[in-house]
Amino acid sequence: MPLAAHGGDIYGVARRLGVSPQQIIDFSASINPLGISPRALRRVAREIRTVCHYPDPRQEELRALLAARQKMDPECIVFGNGATQLLYLVIRYFSPEKAVLVVPGFSENRAALASVQAHVGTFQLRPQGQFRLETNAFLDDLRRAKPDCVLLTNPNNPSGAVIPHEEIGQIAGFCRKMQIRLVVDESFVDFTREPSLSGLVGRNRFLIVIHSLTKFFALPGLRIGYLTAHRSIAKALSQVIEPWSVNTLAIAAAAESIKDRPYQKRTLALVAKEREYLQCGLRKLGWLEVYPSQVNFLLARSTIRSLSGKVLRAKLEQMHLVIRDSRGFGSLGPQFVRIAVRTRDENRRLLDALRVVGKPSVSGKQSS
Ligand SMILES: Cc1ncc(COP(=O)(O)O)c(C=O)c1O
């Protein structure tokens, strides 16, 4: 098993099935089901003519827009080729010796720490607690472990559970006091009504917030993300990031998406409605336990032993529908799957397929 298993490989699936990637419905990567903003699409078409020049190395247009949106100092922002590049940048730069990772979580967190040979301890989120972080127990664990770095994802991937703003603020304050570098990945926060932690970086040199722009704005193929940190840290990181990590089309598409308020509103409304629809539909099957989520994906556990995550993924793949099994998330059992919230037609197709897949087994024995 590779250390970092990912969803979203429609090309690999299409090659295996001998079909075109357009025939695949991808529930395995958690991307805005509306697709790219129409305004961003028009801008990319115009901007293509400028690719004969190097991209703006300061990303001024996007920087100003984001700073205004987050109400923060533009010099606290560093852009990168997706949140993933920034995660590796931060870990390489600080090169922690001892880190604590909240699991289950995004597989690249562990891979980034492995790349600097950090000693990694884990703090386990439990299905019985619906994968919510128990803040006091977590802080006790950090007191005992005394790491120099903590990585967590809020909202959590794969569960979609959110640490309330007050509690994550408490964790950030604790880490500052203990001089622990806290890296918070907020790649899915725009799908919630929660404020970003970025507002705190100006006063906390130990806090780094990483943010993808590929999920909410449906730009994973263009690659763009940013981090926010104290001005002095942001300056140091911008001096060591590879030059021209962010290309002209990605900057233009992200800038235009941020300006496209109607698209953002439509996205929030659609995801809320479809998450509810999909969650109800999955529960009605009678053999999938679905965990509460505030974002655009759902974590579920199959209670039929013969229908493990891996089996479900393989059966659905034959029907051109792709979901994530638990590989790569660390510490999730074999019965778990993660499913992205998509459009009504697509969600209905998935539910129909699951009814077919589950039929022979429903009358069979269910695991507890
Ligand atoms: C929590 C989390 N952070 C970051 C990423 C990757 O984001 P990007 O496409 O910006 O590199 C993912 C992708 O699945 C993710 O789940």
Name the segment(s) of the chain with CATH classification 3.40.640.10: 38-259
Asked if residue 174 has pLDDT above 60, the reply is: yes
Do 86 and 80 touch, CB atoms closer than 8 A?
Answer: yes
- Give the model's confidence band at 1: pLDDT under 50 very low, under 70 low, under 90 confident, else very high: very low
Output the pLDDT for position 350: 98
Superfamily in which the 10-30+262-359 domain is placed by CATH? Aspartate Aminotransferase, domain 1 (3.90.1150.10)
Name the segment(s) of the chain with CATH classification 3.90.1150.10: 10-30+262-359
Tokens of 154: 């809020």
80 Cα: distance to centroid of ligand 1 (angstroms): 12
Helices 60-70, 248-259: axis angle to 10 degrees equals: 30
Binding site membership of 83 for ligand 1 (Cβ less than 6 Å) = yes
Mutation probe of ligand 1 site: the residue of 108, 332, 338 with most atoms within 8 A of C-beta? 108
Tokens of 236: 């140091």
Output the pLDDT for position 6: 83
Question: What number is the average pLDDT over the span 122-143?
Answer: 96
Our CA angle for 303, 29, 324, nearest 5°, is 25
Asked if residue 4 has pLDDT above 80, the reply is: no
Please confirm whether the linkage preceding 33 is cis (ω < 30° from 0): no
Question: What number is the average pLDDT over the span 96-125?
Answer: 96
221 Cα: distance to centroid of ligand 1 (angstroms): 12
**Which atom of ligand 1 is the closest one to the Cα of 86?**
11
Architecture of the domain made up of 38-259: 3-Layer(aba) Sandwich (3.40)
Binding site membership of 220 for ligand 1 (Cβ less than 6 Å) = yes
Question: What number is the average pLDDT over the span 255-281?
Answer: 98
CA torsion through residues 285, 289, 292, 294, sign: negative
Q: How far apart are CA 364 and CA 306, in angstroms?
A: 9
Among candidate residues 322, 330, 312, the one with its CA nearest the CA of residue 4: 330
- Give the model's confidence band at 3: pLDDT under 50 very low, under 70 low, under 90 confident, else very high: very low
218 — phi, psi (to 5°)? 50, 55
Do 115 and 63 touch, CB atoms closer than 8 A?
Answer: no
Output the pLDDT for position 2: 43
**Which atom of ligand 1 is the closest one to the Cα of 153?**
1
Q: How far apart are CA 286 and CA 358, in angstroms?
A: 9
Q: Structure pTM?
A: 0.95
The residue type at 261: R
Binding site membership of 225 for ligand 1 (Cβ less than 6 Å) = yes
Helix, coil or strand: residue 184:
strand
pLDDT digits (tens, 9 = 90+) for 291-330: 999 999 999 999 999 999 999 999 999 999 999 998 878 7
Alpha carbon nearest to ligand 1 atom 16, residue: 106
213 Cα: distance to centroid of ligand 1 (angstroms): 9
Asked if residue 119 has pLDDT above 90, the reply is: yes
Do 99 and 148 touch, CB atoms closer than 8 A?
Answer: yes
**Which atom of ligand 1 is the closest one to the Cα of 212?**
10
Do 290 and 282 touch, CB atoms closer than 8 A?
Answer: yes
